[in-house]
Structure 1
Amino acid sequence: MTLTQVVIILAGLFFGYRLVSHLLSPGTGEQDRSSRRPSDGQDGRGDANGHWRDYGPAWSDAPPPAPPAAWYQVLGVAESASLGDIERAYRQQISQYHPDKVARLGEDLRQLAERRSREINAAYDIACRLRRG
């Protein structure tokens, strides 16, 4: 292998890595940061001269918490569904988010699956109490 081929391969790997990392993590580029830049620097993250200092997300950048969904929306059934329909929907939903199925995935996906399985279990408990009691 010649030196030219090695340089071309390394350049291709470098630019490929940069492209993939940019596509997989949008919102971290300089273009996105400059579009959020305040003009007067009065939000506590910029100084009086307009220099931008990003110390992480401000509290105002966080999305508002979502309202809790009703049990039938979480399970994906009608509010008047029978106990059999509720059980089928529960088993189908929980099989997608079971901790054993997502054990080998990334930490973010495991946390999402854990939160979603807690929501599904809580919705199933509420539905069973309503139907049986």
Structure 2
Amino acid sequence: ETIFNGEFVAFYGGRLITEEEAVGGDDMYYFATDHFYLHNDEILEMQTSELNFYDALEFGNVSRFLNHSCEGNLVVVPMFTDQDNTEQNYRVGFFAERDIKPLEELTYNYGYQSKNNNQGDIEGRVMECLCGAKNCCGKLL
């Protein structure tokens, strides 16, 4: 079936862990709760003091298999399941950014950036981006 623009696709599932717990772990399925804030400055005030991650290595849902594209067809939306806006009630939702045809790969921009905002420079790790998008930055990490 076609997924229509604005339609909810999935939550990012996993165990919520602290930054301390994340250090030294297998980060293959980590999703930082600050991902959304990297792209939306107006919501920075909602961010709490400590960085948390969703760890979907041991359990999660289909969203842990979403791939990167510099021109993804999904957008990350922060969602709160309660009114106090704490990280414990924070959920990561994926919504269609445009109409998505049946069997089209679901992707989003991972948005990796270093502290100096240079995309492709995180802790000395480099990975070539092969997404093929017109606006491809060339590096994923």
Interval of TM-score (by shorter of Structure 1 and Structure 2): under 0.3
Larger RCO, structure (CA 8 Å, separation 6 or more): 2
Structure that is richer in helix per residue:
1
TM-score, normalised with respect to structure 1:
0.20
Structure that is richer in strand per residue:
2
Whose Rg is larger?
1
